[in-house]
Structure 1
Amino acid sequence: MVPVPLLVPALIGLAFLLLPLLALVVRAPWSGLPEQLSSPEVWQALRLSLLCATSATVLSLLVGVPLAWLLARTDFPGRGFVRALVTLPLVLPPVVGGVALLLAFGRNGVVGQWLDAWFGITLPFTTTGVVLAETFVAMPFLVISVEGTLRAADPRYEEAATTLGASRFTAFRRVTLPLIAPGIAAGAVLAWARALGEFGATITFAGNFPGRTQTMPLAVYLALQNDPAAAIALSLVLLAVSIAVLAGLRDRWMSAS
């Protein structure tokens, strides 16, 4: 039997988390929902959100998996500090992340000024800027998930492959990657969901231009000021996506428990 001193605050916490979601569902304009969701602006924002979130996830996979391997399987001075820096975007306010991206990749930024001068590439307030902002906030989720899976995987399989003549990269590709594939998949889903819901860094670094940088969270924010019913409809779409992500990760979480 659960002790009452634990049960009561637990139920209060559960109600606090569920009440806003229930209010969103109860107050949703269900009769006008098809009309709200059939708007070209909604589908434009949704299409851009899916494209940018998927691109950010692919970019996170390309650089995040090797980074997770570096943190999990190599020993170098300052590894703990590097890990702290990698996870910093998890706790950094997204708006601060957007400002940092501007200072780094803006037209007068540390790197951005050279990209503009040498290649004529301008990243802020573009669709590419949205992808970079989402990658910045989402990749730590992937790195943490993959690093944890790598630490749990037995390195002796990789060592056995190297003793049989395989290179370190071949052993990683043919042995380690299949072992950690569930962790990579879970991390990719979390990164994709985080990228899809990103707001602060996106609006700061990429702006809010319909068809170019206006993702679903930005469209919700804009609609809330002019058309609350449309904002609720857009929020329901994002809620449905979040539930789908949780359903996709359910088997992994249940097996972990």
Structure 2
Amino acid sequence: MTDWLGPEEWQAVALSLKVAFWAVLGTLPLGVLTAFAMARWRFVGRDFLNVIIHLPLVLPPVVTGYLLLLTFGTQGAVGQALQKVGIVFAFHWTGAALAAAIMAFPLFVRAVRLSLEAVDPKLEQAAATLGASKPRVFFTVTLPLILPGILAGAVLAFAKAMGEFGATITFVSNIPGQTRTLPSAIYAFLQVPGGETSAMRLVVVSVIIACAALILSEVLARRVSVRVGKS
């Protein structure tokens, strides 16, 4: 495949993998905490939080990207504050990772939440009755049971991050070597004469990655069902 893809195409693939990796890594802790809160806690504003979590799925991606630009751009309040400490998102690969993380966040939270809701609360209550603290119950009882769900959610989030286009190109543009991910590269190649071949090669790579992610996610989801059924 090294000879099949050109340098510019490999650059887009490598950047997409990098962006997707950091997007998923940044999603993990907050996503698990959010899923746990939605599955186990009852609090004021829970329905509103649920709407906010799933909003990126129903909003046009361009709108999400524009809101990110207003917030984390060089002229945004948060963006200016972060820039003073050396953290830059706008028109940088870190911004692409942020946009991808936000778009993938609902998918990850939903997968983990479904896993949590499938766990019998009596197992956690039994551990608490034996004297285990809440953190210990989570790490020794809950986490092992939902781990396949976390992995499945991470795979889906990774696939979503790899395919993110609208929010990314609106927030960080389409700069070769900096923010040009797989979808952006495909779009760019289609805009120039003779670029269809390169675009098709990247389409094939995208399809392979997406199929692999979906298959892996399905396998992990089945493991969740079997594991919970045995418990």
TM-score normalised by structure 1 residue count: 0.82
Separation in 1, partners of 2:81, 2:214: 42
How many angstroms does 1:252 deviate by? 4.5
1:86 aligns with 2:63: no
Give the SS at the match of 2:23. Answer: helix
1:243 aligns with 2:211: yes
Deviations 1:128-171 (A, max 9, x none): 11110100100110001111111111111112222222221111
Match of 1:48 in 2: 15
Matched residue type, 1:228: E
Q: Are the equivalent residues in 1 in contact too, given 2:20–2:97 (CA < 8 A)? A: yes
TM-score normalised by structure 2 residue count: 0.91
Compared with structure 1, are the counterparts of its residues 34 and 163 closer, same or farther at alpha carbon in structure 2 (3 Å cutoff)?
closer
Give the SS at the match of 2:191. Answer: helix
Superposed, 1:75-224 pairs within 5 Å as 75-116=42-83, 118-224=84-190
- The alignment of Structure 1 onto Structure 2 pairs a total of residues equal to 223
Matched residue type, 1:101: L
Alignment match of 1:69 (pick from 33, 36, 41): 36
Compared with structure 1, are the counterparts of its residues 50 and 232 closer, same or farther at alpha carbon in structure 2 (3 Å cutoff)?
same
Matched residue type, 2:118: A
Deviations 1:191-250 (A, max 9, x none): 000000000111111111111111111000001112111111110100111111122123
Give the SS at the match of 1:111. Answer: helix
Separation in 2, partners of 1:90, 1:38: 32
Separation in 1, partners of 2:124, 2:221: 26
1:228 aligns with 2:178: no
Matched residue type, 1:206: V
Give the SS at the match of 1:211. Answer: coil
How many angstroms does 1:174 deviate by? 1.1
Deviations 1:42-84 (A, max 9, x none): 1111111001101101111121001100111111012111111
Matched residue type, 1:71: M
Q: Output the aligned Cα RMSD.
A: 1.8
Gaps of 5+ in 1: 1-32
How many angstroms does 1:89 deviate by? 0.6
Matched residue type, 1:46: V
